[in-house]
């Protein structure tokens, strides 16, 4: 389970929205000075990210929580986002090139381009359906694992 600390910023019925801060581990690495990733993290800074999480406990705005997502879900989600559209793009391009070799059209590059873009579009359409299907699946969504300390909200000291 990959864990991250977050703060609850909005509760809309069953939906809980938390804010996380993107942090870099570059400060713990000996190669920090000569690393491109360290330079990139300095440019991007500590950005905040708003995330919808699933929670089976009552939460209020300002609560500190620990959220988590299963490693397997992260790997599967990454493959869905990157590999499927890319593979369908390449498959379409190869089929387009093979069609030109068999005389289906005169220009092999045009066939590769058109069928490659068609494959990419099919991959993105599949991805849209996949994300809708897993939208509320606890296996693919970050979940609140435990509650942390409550903090002040807008200086009011709400608990």
Q: Tens-digit pLDDT profile for the chain (159 aa)?
A: 888 889 999 998 778 999 987 665 555 566 556 676 666 666 666 678 898 888 888 898 989 999 998 899 989 999 999 999 999 999 999 998 888 767 666 666 888 899 999 999 999 999 999 999 988 787 888 888 998 765 555 554 444
Alpha carbons 68 and 58: distance in angstroms, whole number: 17
DSSP 80-135: IIIIHHHHHHHHHHHHHHHHHHTTSSS-HHHHHHHHHHHHHHHHHHHHHHHHHHHT
CATH 3.40.30.10 fits 1-69+140-159, yes or no: no
Domain chopping of the chain, boundaries: 1-69+140-159, 71-138
pLDDT of residue 157: 47
Which residues make beta-bridge pairs with 68? 3, 143
pLDDT of residue 154: 53
Question: What are the structure tokens assigned to 77, written together?
Answer: 């989600």
3-state secondary structure of 24: coil
pLDDT of residue 24: 56
Q: What is the pTM of this model?
A: 0.64
Alpha carbons 122 and 91: distance in angstroms, whole number: 11
pLDDT of residue 39: 64
pLDDT of residue 117: 96
Q: Which uninterrupted H or E stretch holds 18?
A: strand 15-21
């Amino acid at each position: 389970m990959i864990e991250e600390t977050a703060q609850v910023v909005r509760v809309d019925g069953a939906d809980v929205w938390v804010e996380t801060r993107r942090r870099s581990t570059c400060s713990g690495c000996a190669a920090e000075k000569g690393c491109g990733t360290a330079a990139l993290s300095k440019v991007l800074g500590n950005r905040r990210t708003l995330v919808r999480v699933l929670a089976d406990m009552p939460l209020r705005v300002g609560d500190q929580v620990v959220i988590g997502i299963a490693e397997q879900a992260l790997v599967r989600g990454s493959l869905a986002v990157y590999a499927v559209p890319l593979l369908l793009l390449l498959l379409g391009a190869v089929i387009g090139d093979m069609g030109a070799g068999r005389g289906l059209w005169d220009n092999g590059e045009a066939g590769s381009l058109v069928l490659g873009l068609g494959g990419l579009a099919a991959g993105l359409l599949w991805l849209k359906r996949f994300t809708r299907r897993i939208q509320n699946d606890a296996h693919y969504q970050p979940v609140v694992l435990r509650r942390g300390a409550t903090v002040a909200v807008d200086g009011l000291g709400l608990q």
